[in-house]
Amino acid sequence: MNIKHYLDSTYLKTAVQAGISESDNVAVAKKFIQEAIDEKFKLIMIRPEMVSMAKEMIVKSNSKVDIGTVIDFPEGKSTWVKKMKESQKAIDNGADDLDFVCNYNAFKKGNIDVVKEEILNCTKLGLDHHKVVKWIIEVAALNHQQIIQLSALIKNLVMSNFKEECYSNIFVKSSTGFFATKNNLPNGATIETIIMMLENASPLPVKAAGGVRTYEEAVAMIQLGVKRIGTSGAKAIADGQVSDAAY
């Protein structure tokens, strides 16, 4: 199976997180962008400040690779107004996919109206600009019941407020890949969490992000029903190797 059109090749580290200089971090991002172009991955997922650079490289290469970026990353605690401003800038710079970090902490505290407001407003903004919108629920921060409830909440909001032809462009996504877990527990997608998301987000598509390390794991996720896989080890996975990438 050629899985490249499922892969969102991802580089989201800041220079500080990578332990390198700003210029070196830009060079790493450029390498990821060029690799996505060369390998014909579905998408390159990068930080908002790198979107313009990616757009320039992709246009110059006459490539069909899409550009994705993260909004309110990685904690999702900002107001929906701030998320809207950040996403509008990303749209203006050439982003195709907007991966919003859902305010899962507000959800856990029972502040459901906060979550509903950001999902409705930010999703509308993305769709109005013909973009793909993804909502990262951060499964490692939630228990099983919360994963089910938040997946269903997003689905129900979308189905109640947007047309059916929009559903395929509104994803529920598992993870940022940056959540710090205790006792070495998984901080990304697992088969168990993805099944819960698929069962409760449908008919919205699901993206498995973080935790997919091998071609076999990627195929297993695809066979379950995921439509995208986010990984910083896309080439290794596509080549049938084991990725040692962090997310």
Q: Would you name the residues annotated as active-site residues? A: 99, 173, 207
DSSP secondary structure code for residue 187 in this structure:
-
Helix/strand/coil percent split, the chain, to 5: 50, 15, 35
Provide the sign of the torsion angle of the four alpha carbons 37, 38, 43, 45, taken in this order: negative
Residue 213, φ and ψ in degrees, nearest 5: -115, -20
Nearest-angstrom CA–CA distance, 41 and 66? 9
> Residue 126 burial by CB count (10 A; 0-12/13-18/19+): exposed, middle or buried?
buried
10 Å Cβ neighbour count for 23? 8
Report d(CA 98, CA 170) in Å as an integer. Answer: 10
CB atoms within 10 A of CB 105: 15
What is the DSSP code string of 26-40? HHHHHHHHHHHHHHT
